[in-house]
Amino acid sequence: MAQQKHTVRIIGGKWKGRKLKVADRPGLRPTMSRVRETLFNWLRLDVPDARVLDLFAGTGALSFEALSRGASFATLIERDRVVTNQLRAESQKLGAKCEVVTASAQLWLEQQSVWLWDIVFLDPPFKSKQMENMLPHLMERDVTVYLEQHRRDFVKDFPGWDTVKSGHAGEVLFRLLRPD
C-alpha cells in the first residue's frame, strides 16, 4: 500500500477541521482549499439534501465537503484501487453516506440508465481530454456540473452548456455549468 503522508482538511459543515488522509499516488491533486471555499459558497443553497457524483474522486475532498455541508449521498468514482481503498477508509471513519466505486469514470457514466444525482464534480487529471467526452453524457440531465481545468487546457465554451459561475486560482480555472 502507498504511503499516506498527505492530508486534506474539510473546511465547512459538520466535519469542519477534520483531516482526510490522502494516498500518495502520482497525479493525485486535491482541489485547493480556497477553490473549495468558493465552490461551496456558490452551491450553498444547492448542496443540502443533494445527491452528488464525483467522477474523478481522487482525494474525495469535494464529495466529503459536500456531505459535511448537508448533501444526502455521494457516489465517488475512482479508477485507482489504492485510492478507492483510502476513500473507503476515510468514509468509514466519518460515517459518510456514500458509495465508493473502483471504475473508469467514462465507462461507469456510459452504463448509467437511471439518473440519481443533482451535482456532478468533474475534475479529471490535468492534460486529459476526458471532460469533453463526458459532458455529452450529462447534457440531458437536470444537473449542475463543477468543472476544474488547468489554464493551459482552457476550453472557452462547451456546446449545450451555460457557464453559471467561474473563477481561477493560480493555474486552475473552475466553473459551474448547467445544460442550456
For residue 166, the enclosing domain spans 6-179
Please write the tens of the pLDDT for every residue from 40-59: 999 999 999 999 999 999 99
**In the chain, how many domains are there?**
1
Contacts of 18 (CB under 8 A, 6+ apart): 9, 10, 68, 94
In this structure, is residue 1 part of a structural domain? no
Please write the tens of the pLDDT for every residue from 2-47: 444 588 999 999 999 999 988 888 777 778 889 999 999 999 999 9
CA distance 162 to 31: 22
What CATH number is associated with residue 131? 3.40.50.150
In this structure, is residue 86 part of a structural domain? yes
Predicted local confidence at residue 24, as pLDDT: 83
- HSE, CB side, 13 Å, CA atoms: give it for residue 165: 12
CA angle 131, 161, 104 (to 5 degrees): 25
In this structure, is residue 106 part of a structural domain? yes
- More confidently predicted of 97 and 131: 97
Please write the tens of the pLDDT for every residue from 148-177: 888 777 667 788 999 999 999 988 889 999
